Amino acid sequence: MTTSNSKINFGGAVLNGDRHLCAFFHSEDEGLRTLLPFIAEGLSADEKAIHVVNADDREEYRRRLSDGGIDVASVEQSGQLDIIAWPDSHLLDGGEFDPERALKMIDQVLDAARKQGYRRTRGIGYMSWALQNQIRAGALMAYEAMLNTILTRYDDPIICAYDLSRSGGSVVLDVMRTHHAALIGGVLHHNPFYIPPEQMLHELRERGEIAADERASRLS
């Protein structure tokens, strides 16, 4: 695993090995306002930035980053910032979300950033894409669980941001169980509810939310 000597200060705490984080907000404005220092710090440190947004929101997201003081045109042109539109490349022919394809994409973009010479990538996934596109909760949680396996290969912090106004209680609970740390009210907390990926997949199979023969190896 590639590691960096510099510490990441975020949400009033230092990230000590917690690389898959969830963040809960009550609006997109609150979310971006909270995450802007994390974004700006990484760009100032010449780190790679990868942001995943709903395809319909990409131009609006660029505008909001610019309003927050980010020189979007410059960092996109240099290749330091990639704003990836979800979900077109991660759907099966029938329109169903494919966790395996999504995980491969994350692995590929993180590996590509490392090969480009970036010592670290800071990633943010704005999970409204899943809620707006009515992705099955089981498929989404399988993706979230197995992303932990992918991230063991890197030293890159990845934040999955959820809008509480669009997220049901059961989804929030499962999100908590698939992330090592949680940002709540702008404060970072180590997450005691986290469970290993295979345990989460087993529970999803038991609940009938993913296929009974779904195996972690397919998603790793």
Q: Quick one: tokens of 178?
A: 């698939």
Higher pLDDT, 43 or 87: 43
pLDDT score for 100: 87
Asked if residue 102 has pLDDT above 50, the reply is: yes
The mean-pLDDT minimum among 1-10, 39-48, 140-149, 177-186 falls in 1-10
CATH for 17-219, among 3.40.1710.10, 3.40.50.1820, 3.40.50.300, 3.40.190.170?
3.40.50.300
What percent of the chain has pLDDT above 90? 61
pLDDT score for 89: 54
pLDDT tens for 10-45 read: 766 777 777 899 999 998 889 999 999 999 999 999
What are the residue ranges spanned by the domains of the chain? 17-219
Burial 91-129 (b: 16+ CB within 10 A, else e): beeeeebbbbebbebbbebbeebbeeebbbbbbbbbbbb
Whole-model pTM: value is 0.88
pLDDT score for 88: 59
- How many other β-carbons are positioned within 10 Å of the β-carbon of residue 162? 22
Tell me the pLDDT band of 146, cut-offs 50, 70 and 90.
very high
Please answer whether residues 145 and 201 qualify as being in contact, where contact means their C-beta atoms are separated by less than 8 angstroms. Answer: yes
pLDDT tens for 49-59 read: 999 998 889 99
Is the preceding omega at residue 87 within 30 degrees of 0, hence cis?
yes
Query: Could you give the residue ranges of the DSSP H alpha helices within 79-191?
Result: 99-115, 128-132, 137-151, 169-177
Higher pLDDT, 130 or 138: 138
pLDDT score for 14: 75
pLDDT score for 143: 94
User: Residue 13, SS3?
Assistant: strand
pLDDT tens for 168-216 read: 788 899 999 999 999 998 888 889 999 999 999 999 999 998 876 555 4
CA angle (31 as vertex; 30, 32 as ends), nearest 5 = 95
Asked if residue 87 has pLDDT above 80, the reply is: no
